[in-house]
Amino acid sequence: MTIAGRYAPSPSGDLHVGNLRTALLAWLFARSTDRAFWMRVEDLDRVREGAAERQLEDLAALGLDWDGRPVRQSQRRELYAAAIERLAAEGRTFECFCTRREILDAPTAPHLPPGAYPGTCRTLTEQERAARRRERPPAIRLRSEVDEWSVTDALHGTVTASVDDLVLRRNDGIPAYNLAVVVDDGAQGIDQVVRGDDLLTSAPRQAYLASLLGIEPPEYAHVPLALNLEGKRLAKRDGAVTYRELTARGIDVFDLIAASLGLVGDSPQALLDGFDPSQLPREPWTFVPPAPA
How much is the pLDDT for 105?
79
Q: Which of 102-106, 266-270, 284-288 has the lowest mean pLDDT?
A: 102-106
Residues 199-223 have a mean pLDDT of 97
How much is the pLDDT for 244?
95
Domain shared by 196 and 80, yes or no = yes
Q: DSSP letter for 121, please.
A: T
Long-range contacts of 85-93 (CB under 8 A, 24+ apart): 86/213, 87/142, 87/168, 87/212, 87/213, 88/140, 90/212, 91/143, 92/142, 92/143, 92/212, 93/140, 93/141, 93/142, 93/143, 93/168
**How many domains does one find in the chain?**
2
Is 232 tagged catalytic? no
10 is an annotated ligand-binding site residue: yes
Residues 269-291 have a mean pLDDT of 93
Domain shared by 119 and 65, yes or no = no
The answer to whether the beta carbons of residues 35 and 192 sit under 8 Å apart is: yes
Is a pLDDT exceeding 90 seen at residue 103? no
How much is the pLDDT for 289?
85
Domain shared by 102 and 148, yes or no = yes
How much is the pLDDT for 106?
76
236 is an annotated ligand-binding site residue: yes
Is a pLDDT exceeding 70 seen at residue 58? yes
42 is an annotated ligand-binding site residue: yes
Is a pLDDT exceeding 90 seen at residue 111? no
162 is an annotated ligand-binding site residue: no
Higher-pLDDT residue of 45 and 139 is 139
Residues 247-275 have a mean pLDDT of 95
HSE of 176, CA atoms in CB hemisphere, 13 A? 19
Mean pLDDT value across the chain: 94
Torsional class of 287: left (φ above 0), alpha (ψ -120 to 50), beta (otherwise) = beta
Residues 54-79 have a mean pLDDT of 97
The answer to whether the beta carbons of residues 149 and 160 sit under 8 Å apart is: yes
HSE of 251, CA atoms in CB hemisphere, 13 A? 19
The answer to whether the beta carbons of residues 77 and 43 sit under 8 Å apart is: no
Is a pLDDT exceeding 90 seen at residue 27? yes
How much is the pLDDT for 132?
94
Domain shared by 128 and 27, yes or no = no
Give the containing element (helix H, strand E) for 108.
none
Domain shared by 50 and 84, yes or no = no
121 is an annotated ligand-binding site residue: yes
In this structure, the number of other CB atoms found within 10 A of the CB of residue 3 comes to: 15
The answer to whether the beta carbons of residues 181 and 187 sit under 8 Å apart is: no
Domain shared by 63 and 84, yes or no = no
Confidence of residue 259 (pLDDT cuts 50, 70, 90): very high
- Amino acid 36 reads A
Residues 93-97 have a mean pLDDT of 97
134 is an annotated ligand-binding site residue: no
Q: Is residue 285, in this structure, part of any structural domain at all?
A: no
The residue segments making up the domain with residue 136 are 76-223
Residue 157: burial class (beta carbons within 10 Å; 0-12, 13-18, 19+): exposed
Confidence of residue 46 (pLDDT cuts 50, 70, 90): confident
What is the C-alpha to C-alpha distance for residues 131 and 147, in angstroms, rounded to an integer?
A: 30
98 is an annotated ligand-binding site residue: yes
Catalytic site residue from 148, 236, 247, 270:
236
How much is the pLDDT for 193?
98
Q: Is residue 184, in this structure, part of any structural domain at all?
A: yes
Q: What is the CATH number of the domain that holds 125?
A: 3.40.50.620
